[in-house]
Amino acid sequence: MSSVVSDVVDEVRARVHSGGSDRTQIRHLVEDVVGSIHDSHTMLDIEALTNQVAGYGALQPLLDDLTIEEIWINDPSRVFIARDGRTELTNVILDADELRSIIERMLASSGRRIDISQPFVDATLPDGSRLHVAIPDVTRAHWSVNIRKFVMGSRSLHDLVAAGALSYDAADHLTECVNSGKNIVVSGATQAGKTTLMNALLNSACATDRIITCEEVFELQLTSPDWVALQTRQASLEGGGEIPLRRLIKEALRMRPNRLVVGEVRQEECLDLLVAMNSGMPSMCSIHANSARETLTKLCLLPMLAGSNVAADFVIPTVAGVVDVVVHAKISSLGRRQVSTIAEVSGRVENGVIEMQEIFGLRSDELIKL
């Protein structure tokens, strides 16, 4: 950042502290400060300066672009985006100090931190986008940044039908599954649309349902009038105060839920969710998996991370008995997100394999065509 630009930004920020912080007001302040510069040869970008004060600097235009799904930074001079499922290298070039300043502003509203003792951070931006940062010496040389933008294009299952993600019959069937209190697992790869699909499923629930969601960082956005969202918390500088996902699940069960939701199960918290399901609590979660069949396999493996006393003899029949429906999403080679499989779990186990029946499904060639 040049000295002139830095001076303008500092002056505008000083004035903002004593006045309003509306973006339009800040733009007017930028124009006033720039207009007071007597050097007629100084050409300054008003919009870029406004972004420095009221936004996230050079990244703000990428965040404002609704066609961009994700932004990631390998080093300050290499900023990538995903658009329509395809990767692009942008012409945005930052320096290390500028990138660090942007990340600090992003984290300011979340109350989370990143430092040598805590080299990873997950946080939610004010617009709902998800931020993940890793710093050296976990990374080789530069800060690694991922921003998965929150784009709420589909709030209901019928929106997904209109977008070509599933059929009318499949949407009606899923609505019936939700309203009958079935335990549903949404699976798929990264960026396959799991969160969007979970939002749509939960928004089809009865308006009188009390829904408690547990997430590592806030991502779900429900329309339910009776919804409480919980997220995990990092440990403090002194090492205390951490609230993991397992604790959230246990606390959520004390909050009179009609439906318990875990944003994503990755580790031993899967055991706590299965226990909740087994107690008759209608539940929903998402999980990374390559197919509906592999979803059940992973659900049987994750609870064993809770300790050596959790054995397959307990987990496999429990998964078979409590999971009712698996909804698997895929992304085609053309970047289209589709519900590829809806399968019902029979509850029976044959030779260690949980039986399931595919109710709705798309062939791989259909995924490519749609």
The CATH number given to whatever domain includes residue 111 is 3.30.450.380
One domain, residues 262 and 115: no
Closest CA to 319 of 341, 342, 339, 348: 348
One domain, residues 213 and 71: no
One domain, residues 120 and 76: yes
pTM of the complete model: 0.83
One domain, residues 45 and 68: no
One domain, residues 272 and 355: yes
One domain, residues 198 and 255: yes
pLDDT of residue 369: 42
| Parent domain of 296 | 157-369
The last residue of one of the domains, among 121, 151, 181, is 151
Domain count, the chain: 3
One domain, residues 28 and 139: no
One domain, residues 18 and 162: no
One domain, residues 187 and 331: yes
The last residue of one of the domains, among 132, 151, 170, is 151
One domain, residues 95 and 172: no
Q: For the beta carbon of residue 270, count every other beta carbon within 10 angstroms.
A: 27
- Residue 323 · residue 185 · CB < 8 Å: yes
The last residue of one of the domains, among 151, 176, 197, is 151
d(CA 40, CA 135): 41
One domain, residues 201 and 348: yes
Please report, in tens digits, the pLDDT of each residue of the chain (370 residues total): 567 777 777 776 777 765 556 777 777 777 777 777 755 545 777 877 777 777 898 999 999 999 999 999 999 999 999 987 789 999 999 999 999 999 999 998 888 889 988 899 999 998 889 999 999 999 999 999 999 987 665 688 999 999 888 999 999 999 999 999 999 999 999 889 999 999 999 999 999 999 999 999 999 999 999 999 999 998 887 778 899 999 999 999 999 999 999 999 999 999 999 999 999 999 999 999 999 999 999 999 999 999 989 999 999 999 999 999 999 999 877 778 899 999 999 999 998 899 999 998 876 555 444 3
List of long-range contacts for 170-179, beta carbons under 8 Å, 24+ apart: 170/339, 170/342, 170/360, 173/342, 173/359, 173/360, 174/201, 174/204, 174/325, 174/327, 174/342, 175/204, 177/324, 177/325, 178/202, 178/204, 178/205, 179/204, 179/205, 179/206
